Amino acid sequence: MIGQIEGVHVNWISKLFRRSDEQEYLYEEAPAVAQPARRAHIDDAEINLPRFKNMVGGIDGGHHKTDAERVRAKLRDAFTPSHPVTDVRMFAGREDLLLTLIRAIEDQRLHAVIYGDRGIGKTSMLHVLTQLAKEAQYTVRYASCGVGTEFSEIFRAVAADISLLYHEDYDPTDPAIEHGGTLADKLPEGRLSVAQMTDLLSKIHGTRILIILDEFDRADSAQFRQQVAELIKNLSDRSIAVQMVIAGVASNLTELIAHIPSIRRNIMGLPIDVMNADEIEELVKNGEWASGLKFQPKAIENIIELSNGSPYLASLLGQHAGLAATQRDAIRVNAEDIKSAVRQALDEVRLRIAPHHVALVDKAATSGSFGALSAMAARSMANAGQILEEDFDGHFDDFSEFIMPITDSANGAYCFREDGVVPYVWLRSNAPKSR
């Protein structure tokens, strides 16, 4: 499985703006602003401003009077483009991949690395895996990596989540357990070494521990990646009842293996690709079930085509289409609602990318190269963020500001500098024309 990912890389690390330690900010007290006197002669009901549609304390509570209002109240949980799936009932497709992952953990005692493009469903997969593993009485500890993540920091936090009940030196009636003692209590002060963490985890008994490291690509420390690799090797070599599942980009797995080549046999690499049409339809059907909406067949066909295999876009379009339907006091989503959803989604995605890149897209639209740019975006979506030279269709110089080479790519691939450009260009190329 590992051979599948060599040479693959998707650059997701965002550029961060930092303030120098020497830089100082001067703050001035804001002048007091006189508040206008309330006009008592105007009733609250007469104030013509947008209002929240739903009550935080409950879905209905007598507030929603029509079917459309009740559906609208449920839409926020039916389609969640800005959040991963956390309810196993809402998980669409990926059954074969999930089965492979579970078998790797349960039957082969392997560690696993899952990878794929942003918005493709890695974190949703981890949340579902977490719930299923807990059902099987695994002790699961989830941690999200970030810029500056250090080994001591993240694994002390993991140890602090594991009760001393699972330490072989402690009896279940020990006072330390009754007082909430954790494995972190057994760690020494100061920086934590791989050897110290290995020795502690080797004392685990009465359970199996699953440590999940999400967003591994954001960890920019080569030392951290090397320490994780060493820990994986130690866990495998000593048959310790602890396994790790890492989610991130392929290059990080390549670097992980490069540090300790012998861990290759202890890891299974699993790519998460775009969804097929049946999986996108299942995602929409899940949204129907959770919200009470009904998508007409043509509307589902449109979402399948417009999402281009992206669960993020499918969920985004499903949400906006449902809102468009309820706006006209309906619960059946039609093709016109999908058109409205594309326009709304396009405006939303546009605000998430740098103005400079928006201007470059505008330039492509007026220079006649937008078709080639759209084809590149489609190729990027279908190929885990990678673009090859032949995908430029003779427009390499035109798009040089959009793209950058992928480091150590075996096939000389490129990727978009800003991943938000891809869905923006794709949606823009499929947006309904203004009348």
Does 77 reside within a domain?
Answer: no
DSSP state of 390: G
pLDDT at position 28 is 45
Count the neighbouring beta carbons within 10 Å of the beta carbon of residue 283.
25
Main-chain phi, psi angles of 164, to 5 degrees? -65, -10
Count the neighbouring beta carbons within 10 Å of the beta carbon of residue 274.
19
Q: Does 205 lie in the same domain as 152? A: yes
Which of 271, 300, 329 corresponds to the end of one domain?
271
Whole-number Cα distances in Å, 420 to 81, 131, 361, 409, 416: 14, 30, 12, 22, 9
Which of 312, 335, 351 corresponds to the end of one domain?
351
Q: Does 148 lie in the same domain as 295? A: no
Q: Does 167 lie in the same domain as 111? A: yes
CATH number at residue 295: 1.10.8.60
Helix axes 311-327, 277-291, angle to 10 degrees: 40
Does 374 reside within a domain?
Answer: yes
Residue ranges making up the domain that contains 386: 355-430
Does 365 reside within a domain?
Answer: yes
Helices (H), 107-244: 122-135, 151-160, 175-178, 194-201, 222-237
pLDDT in tens, the chain (435 residues): 444 433 433 333 233 223 334 444 343 444 555 555 554 555 655 666 665 565 555 544 445 567 777 888 788 788 888 888 888 888 888 889 999 999 999 999 999 988 888 888 888 889 999 999 999 999 999 998 888 899 999 999 999 999 999 999 988 888 988 888 999 999 998 899 999 999 999 999 999 999 999 988 888 888 898 899 899 999 999 999 999 999 886 655 665 566 667 778 888 888 888 899 999 999 999 999 988 899 999 999 999 999 999 999 999 999 999 999 998 888 899 999 999 999 999 999 999 888 999 999 998 888 888 888 888 888 888 887 888 888 877 777 778 888 888 776 667 788 888 888 899 999 999 887 654
What is the sign, positive or negative, of the torsion defined by CA atoms of 146, 152, 154, 157? negative
What is the sign, positive or negative, of the torsion defined by CA atoms of 296, 301, 307, 311? positive
pLDDT at position 46 is 64
Does 42 reside within a domain?
Answer: no
Q: Quick check: 303 and 316 in contact, CB under 8 A?
A: no
Whole-number Cα distances in Å, 333 to 71, 191, 296, 432: 12, 56, 6, 17
Q: Does 117 lie in the same domain as 259? A: yes
Residue recorded with tokens 């639209």 = 365
CATH number at residue 195: 3.40.50.300
* Beta-sheet pairing, 267-271 with 294-295: unpaired
pLDDT at position 266 is 86
Helix axes 277-291, 67-78, angle to 10 degrees: 130
Q: Does 252 lie in the same domain as 312? A: no
pTM of the model: 0.77
Nearest to 291 by CA among 72, 106, 131, 139: 72
Q: Quick check: 249 and 407 in contact, CB under 8 A?
A: no
Domain count, the chain: 3
The token pair at 152 is: 């001591």
Distance from C-alpha of 90 to C-alpha of 348, rounded to nearest angstrom? 24
Q: Does 167 lie in the same domain as 252? A: yes
Does 235 reside within a domain?
Answer: yes
For the chain, what percentages of helix, strand and coil (3-state, to nearest 5) are there?
A: 50, 10, 40
Q: Does 344 lie in the same domain as 315? A: yes
Q: Quick check: 248 and 215 in contact, CB under 8 A?
A: yes
